[in-house]
Amino acid sequence: MRPGRQLAVLGFIFVVLYLLVFFAGANGSLKDRLEPKLGLDLIGGTRMTLEATNTVDGKPPTAENLEEARQIIENRVNGLGVAEAEVVTEGNRNIVISLPGENRNLDEVGSAAELRFRKVLKAASGSGVAEAPPAATPTPSGSAVPTPSGSVQPTPSGSASPKVTSSPSGGQGGMAPASPSATPTPSASATASPSAAAPSASSEPVPASIEEQRKAVEQKVGAASWQAANGLQAPADLSADPSLADKLKPFGTLSAQEVAVLPAQMQFNVPTISCAQLDKRPPASISDPNQQVVACEDGASKNLLDKAKVLGTDVDDADAVLDQTNAWVVSLDFTGDGQGKWTNLTREAFNNEGQACDATALGQDGKCRVAVVLDNEIVSSPEIQGVLTGNSQITGNFNQKDASALAGQLRYGALPVTFKQQEAQNVTATLGASHLRAGLLAAGIGMLLVIIYSFFYYRLLGSVIFLSLILSALLVFGALVVLGRQIGFTLTLAGIAGMIVSLGVAADSFVIYFERLKDEIREGRSPRSAVPRAWIRARRTIISANAITLLSAVVLYVVSVGTVKGFAFALGLATVLDLVVVFLFRHPIMTMFARTRAFLSPRVSGLGRALPARNQPTQPRNPRAKEA
């Protein structure tokens, strides 16, 4: 063979690779061009993994919905003013958000942000304990009055409740907040108007999976408790009926998941179901706009809400702005159709059409309230004091950060998939630097031990191992720099571990080749002829061993998430590049060594007793055969 050709190909690969390192998308100083993209655990930052959930059948979302959710989340993260944020999908369920070099709270970026506007039909206490019904007369807390310019501004009242008002750009009338004290608990004898009465919750069509969960809850609380709860037409007064309190007590022990599958009327009428349980319901528990729902406000007031007449998709834009009192508010601009829906909803609430809102849900001026519901929570529930024909504002105790976060959620739309937080990690820059030093030290120690053992056992052949490992390390390093720029691959602590493991795989291929070479020499062949024959016999074993390692890395990469993916990718990359070095350097350099005089010395070559055995006369194994 002509080893110069293989070495020339290897040299060409190095030239091309490092031209890409220094010039392909590179900028800055020489040090900056040689820096690979490091993961959060090496430089510090924030990482969050969100897992897609489906409360109906548990099936993973479609690839289109997952990608749409990823883009919305990326827009939300970028809307926070974060630089170099990375939002990627993993598998068919997960979205991973990474903010290198920065620690931020990302809890809100994964919320569904499903905005609903619903009339408040009834209100009750959400404490979950028996209370005497207070008076239903709300206390004054403020009002909204038109200004001479036609805009609507709330008069000072000292109330900290969030509210929605008409934007100064136009509108007739406004929306003032209902007083927090205007949420009395009606007695069990209270009756609602015919228009406000909802159909029996048990007759609502529900998916089969929800029906099965309801049956499980019925078995848990008992038939008597379920029957008592299902027969309630209004929130029960437990102080007036102790026996009913005992029957409804098991509902207070239900988990949030179990409460979520109960009918809305049951959630509202059973007083032992508290806001603490309702607020912890899984995401998208009340997302259906065509169903009445129950939601809490400020963790104390439990509200029965009407069907959603205006949705988040009817909002064209949302911005965090300062109002005329220098308070942060979220300004809402509706679409053409959305503006008409909003006007109709405010007209229904202002006139209390059909007497849909009962006395417990009315505001201080006897008008219906409209709840602004974001996911499972009520942001505000202001009283409608006029028919609004213009845009509106969500106001309250917002700071700039909170208002901007809410505006970003509404501006970029609701997620098509609901998520739950699977993993969250914050790494300081100091800890990241410590991880990096530890990882590089471990890699250096591993390589040093392999080299020491190689020179001790194989002597001259140890130089082949040393040069091969150096070349492999340079190839891996260059590939990491280029891949970091082109596909965003980041080197993590797990990736460094994968490269350390690859050292063992590389050492195995050396052992296979060198031991096969010794066998060929023992069989009587010269070193020069033994090298190619040993290569042919060892090549298949080396390829098989590396193929198994590579297959394991691929499988691990496909089925894993998080940092394990980095380990699998680094292991696979190092294995592939090791094969490149085996074919283009190790075999050619061994061919060249076989032509040197030092290779024939047992003390120098490292072939040990193989060469002396070659110079001794071959003794027949059977003495009688010699006599014959």
Cα 405 from Cα 318, distance rounded (Å): 11
Q: Mark whether 59 and 121 lie in a shared domain.
A: no
- CATH number reported for the structural domain that contains residue 589 in this entry: 1.20.1640.10
Q: What is the pLDDT of residue 142?
A: 34
Q: Mark whether 466 and 495 lie in a shared domain.
A: yes
Q: Mark whether 502 and 386 lie in a shared domain.
A: no
Q: Is residue 255 assigned to a domain? A: no
Measured at the CA of 341, the angle between CA 339 and CA 346, to 5 degrees, comes to 95
Q: Is residue 185 assigned to a domain? A: yes
| Burial of 4: CB neighbours in 10 Å, binned 0-12, 13-18, 19+ | exposed
* Nearest partner of 386 among 400, 367, 371, judged by Cα: 367
- Bridge partners of 374? 115, 377
Cα 37 from Cα 482, distance rounded (Å): 9
10-residue stretch averages of pLDDT, the chain, 628 residues long: 81 90 78 78 80 64 80 75 71 80 70 80 80 40 32 33 46 39 36 36 53 87 89 82 84 88 90 88 81 86 90 84 85 87 89 88 86 81 81 75 77 72 74 78 84 79 83 88 82 82 80 82 77 84 88 86 80 89 84 73 61 50 45
Q: Is residue 135 assigned to a domain? A: yes
Structural domain that includes position 58: 45-111+419-425
- CATH number reported for the structural domain that contains residue 98 in this entry: 3.30.70.3400
Cα 347 from Cα 175, distance rounded (Å): 12
Q: What is the pLDDT of residue 187?
A: 36
With beta carbons less than 8 A apart as the criterion, state whether 121 and 354 touch: no
| Burial of 276: CB neighbours in 10 Å, binned 0-12, 13-18, 19+ | middle
Q: What is the pLDDT of residue 294?
A: 92
Tokens for 525, please give them: 């062949």
Q: Mark whether 360 and 441 lie in a shared domain.
A: no
Tokens for 495, please give them: 């990736």
Q: Mark whether 527 and 597 lie in a shared domain.
A: yes
Q: Mark whether 313 and 460 lie in a shared domain.
A: no
Residues 436-450 have pLDDT tens digits of 788 788 888 888 888
Q: What is the pLDDT of residue 418?
A: 75
Q: Is residue 163 assigned to a domain? A: yes
Q: Mark whether 292 and 366 lie in a shared domain.
A: yes
Q: What is the pLDDT of residue 110?
A: 67
Q: Is residue 278 assigned to a domain? A: no
Tokens for 24, please give them: 């392909």
Helices and strands, number each (H, E), in the chain: 21, 18
Give the Cβ contact number of residue 562 at 10 Å. Answer: 17
Q: Mark whether 82 and 148 lie in a shared domain.
A: no
Q: Is residue 261 assigned to a domain? A: no
Cα 598 from Cα 14, distance rounded (Å): 29
Q: Mark whether 367 and 468 lie in a shared domain.
A: no
Q: Mark whether 142 and 103 lie in a shared domain.
A: no
Q: Is residue 517 assigned to a domain? A: yes
Number of domains in the chain: 3
Q: Mark whether 473 and 578 lie in a shared domain.
A: yes
Tokens for 220, please give them: 């848990």
Q: What is the pLDDT of residue 626?
A: 43
Q: Mark whether 475 and 448 lie in a shared domain.
A: yes
Q: What is the pLDDT of residue 192?
A: 36
Q: What is the pLDDT of residue 12?
A: 92
Can you give the length of the chain in residues? Answer: 628
Return the H-helix or E-strand segment holding 302: strand 301-305
Q: Is residue 259 assigned to a domain? A: no
Q: Is 542 helix (H, G, I), strand (E, B) or coil?
A: helix
